[in-house]
Chain A
Amino acid sequence: MKILVVDDEPDVRLLFEQRFRREIRSGEFEFSFSYSGEEALTFLRDHPSEVVLILSDINMPGMSGLELLRHVKTDPLPPPPPLVMMLTAYGDTATHDQAMQLGANDFLIKPVDFAALKQKLQTIATT
């Protein structure tokens, strides 16, 4: 399962690669990383129909995670449409409701509980 992680913090890549080292080694998950919303959209266009799930931060300079979500949900992207999971430090209800309204498939609050995240990812992968 191909997962695109979008976050402006470069160290997120290192963290995911270590947290999911076994899953990556076994080929269960395949991670790609973008450091901004714009970069993520470009990646999606360059790699059509590959990404199953997008894990996106909300607070990013330039295009925010919510804008990326709106693009993903409304732009004519090649099928199948990827699932979008939001990850944010600002876990207030306003942001949550906005994300849900825009069609987010899940809403996680930082700091990330990697055990729970792994569970969710595996559930998605097996269905």
Chain B
Amino acid sequence: MNDDARHWKDLALYWKTHANWDLLIAAGFGMLLAILVRSLLDRPRHLPRARAWLLGLWVPAVVGFGLTAALHYQNPLFAKWYQLFTYGVVAAVLWRVRHYRPAATMLWAIALPALFRGLDVGQKTLGIHFIGAVDGYVKVVSKISAPLLFGLYGVAMYQKQSLAKEQVRRAEEERQRQLTAARNAELERLVTERTATLTQQASELQTALAELRTTQQQLIQSEKMASLGELTAGIAHEIQNPLNFVNNFADVSTELVVELEAEQASPTPDLSLEAELLADLRHNLTKINQHGQRAASIVRGMLAHSRQSTGERQPTELNALADEYLRLAYHGLRAKDKTFNATLKTDFAALLPLVSVVPGDLGRVLLNLFTNAFYAVQKRQQCGVAGYVPTVSVATRRDGDEVEIRVRDNGTGIPEAVQAKIFQPFFTTKPSGEGTGLGLSLAHDIVVQGHGGTLTVESQEGEFTEFAVRLPFRAAG
């Protein structure tokens, strides 16, 4: 047993001195380095082929160990050369990926041990010895090279992690960016869609507006015609009267001529009678002319009323205009209700200047005011109050730069709540079918927009209503 033990001990000693064990240690160290570097470059994307190189690092060491053991040749330089070789392979791999910051750091980490190993190997191989001081530095370097390597490896790992975090952050950012882009695209699509809808709606509204405008024009025209219809009887009466005078004066003039001829044929002509007859004839012709003019002016007014307004202003005698339409409105109502009677009062300012207005339009305003006034007094009269005298009055006056026409009636009056609405289109208190509700609205437009004036109302329920048309005075040119 003792021999046996000694035998094994001798064998061990033999192998210890006759094999390059340090080559195997160096292989272990090389594999450790390879694993460290691999873990640093764990992602195949960094260098897939390097994997084979790094994992195969042990092969030359083991082969070398086997060969030298078989030949019973021991040399400590093999291990050093092999170490230098592993540094070289690792450095080459790291150099390939030097743009990767942990790899660059790792390169620095192995630089010092590799340099030291290089110097060591060079020294031993060539048999050179550094002088004392340099040798001291080299020894210090050899002592700090291992901690330096592991320290820098730590730094490299930290860098790797922070790079990985950075990449995750970047990826997240990119995802957010794409998400935002997608959302923007969606918003863009929605906006386009909405814009298309709005554009379509706008064009539909435009069409509707155009239709409304046309309808408005038609309504204005039918309102004119409606008010003309109300007037027809009044107009007929107003024309009939002057025509009767024309006929009568013509007839009587014929009689006068016959008488004059008889007088001239007489053997004793009465010269003073002849002169009187001639004066009467002349007078009658003037009257015929006057009443003819009166009828013509009524026809003209009626045509102007029904025509589409040309909007042309002309110097107008407001007193005559007001008087004409007062009579037309009165006789219009009289024609419909023969029992109706009203006192008409006029208070026209003498020397009222000519005012530049559109006569047809302003006539329509006055007609509307008069018609309303007569309607109001008629309504009050129908209440059957004793001693009630229906009265409609019109007054004109000049007030500074304005001319004012006031139309007043002592009719039913307008309640305050209604006063606010009377100028609104389609507002009417008349039973359906009797009024369009456009009269005062149009009157307001004509006065305010057409002539730059004002149309105001003052009323007390059961007492009176007074409308005031104020027109800026313009001297007729």
Contact = CB atoms under 8 A, between A and B. Distances in A.
Contacts of A95: 338
A90 B284 CA distance: 26
A61 B342 contact: yes
B247 A111 contact: yes
A114 B331 contact: no
A67 B284 contact: no
Given A61-B330, A89-B240, A15 B248 contact: yes
A45 interface: no
Interface string B329-362: 0110011001101111000000000000000000
A94 interface: yes
Contacts of B280: 18
Contact of A62 (B252, B284, B291, B341): B341
Nearest to A15: B248
Interface residues of B, number: 28
A61 B256 CA distance: 33
A62 to B, nearest CB: 4
Question: Looking at chain A's contact residues, is the secondary structure mostly helix, strand, loop, or mixed?
Answer: loop
13 contacts: A9-B245, A11-B245, A11-B287, A15-B245, A15-B252, A19-B255, A59-B237, A61-B343, A63-B341, A67-B341, A89-B241, A110-B240, A112-B244
Nearest to A61: B344
B401 interface: no
Contact of A112 (B243, B248, B343): B248
B252 A111 contact: no
Contact of A114 (B251, B339, B341, B342): B251
B283 interface: yes
B370 interface: no
B249 interface: yes
A14 interface: yes
A92 B344 CA distance: 24
Interface in A70-127: 89-90, 92, 94-95, 98, 110-112, 114
Contacts of A92: 338
B241 A9 contact: yes
